[in-house]
Amino acid sequence: MQDQDLGLYREALDTFAHLLERAKQSEDVEPTAMTLSTLGKNGRPSARTVLLKAFDERGFVFYTNFESHKGRQIASNPQAALLFLWKHLDNIIQARIEGTVEPVTADEADTYFASRPRESQIGAWASKQSATLDSRETFDQQIAFYEKKFEGIDVPRPPHWSGFRVVPEMIEFWYGAEFRLHERQCYERVNGEWTKRMLFP
């Protein structure tokens, strides 16, 4: 990748970092919340909200149960789209990211898992995410089981729990304005090189 092309990618990441920091200083309750869209084998899209846990030039990271609905969809089709919506800046701003998905390293997953509250660590073991649950009592029993199992010791990371990294192929910023006179800036990797263009709103 040429320095100029990498420079455009860094420009996009710097813009994202600036907007995210502004959102953290605003009234947004969850500025790192993002809509994650994936595609099932039947071609039907699926979307849910997850939290961004890290980002750098390698991509945008979130953590989940690999046996969940989204985990299975990503395993069969490692493509995803992310959407951030920040409502409490000067104007409403959206950041859209599309790209391929890859797992984070075991070391990254271990480090993040160790930083989580113990209750969340227990929950990662107790929850068979996206599977049918016959009653809340069953879930509570699972929580109690793992609390006892790991009593007095550090909770290890479950083998089915880790992180995904969305490696961007496209990053778009949408700046809201009155009368639909919005501004859209699109960074996209085309034939291995990053480009930048404006889009009609």
Q: CB of 112 within 8 A of CB of 53?
A: yes
Task: Identify whether 180 is a catalytic site residue.
Answer: yes
Question: Rounded to whole angstroms, how far apart are CA atoms 39 and 98?
Answer: 13
Catalytic residue among 58, 72, 165, 180: 180
Amino acid occupying residue 39: L
Question: Rounded to whole angstroms, how far apart are CA atoms 13 and 168?
Answer: 10
- Digit-coded pLDDT (tens) for 171-187: 999 998 777 778 999 99
Question: Rounded to whole angstroms, how far apart are CA atoms 113 and 107?
Answer: 10
- Digit-coded pLDDT (tens) for 45-77: 999 999 999 999 999 999 999 999 999 999 999
- Digit-coded pLDDT (tens) for 163-175: 999 999 999 999 9
All structural domains of the chain with their residue ranges: 3-116+157-199
Q: Which CATH class is domain 3-116+157-199?
A: mainly beta
Q: Output the pTM of the full model.
A: 0.92
Angle at 37 between CA 44 and CA 12, to 5 degrees: 140
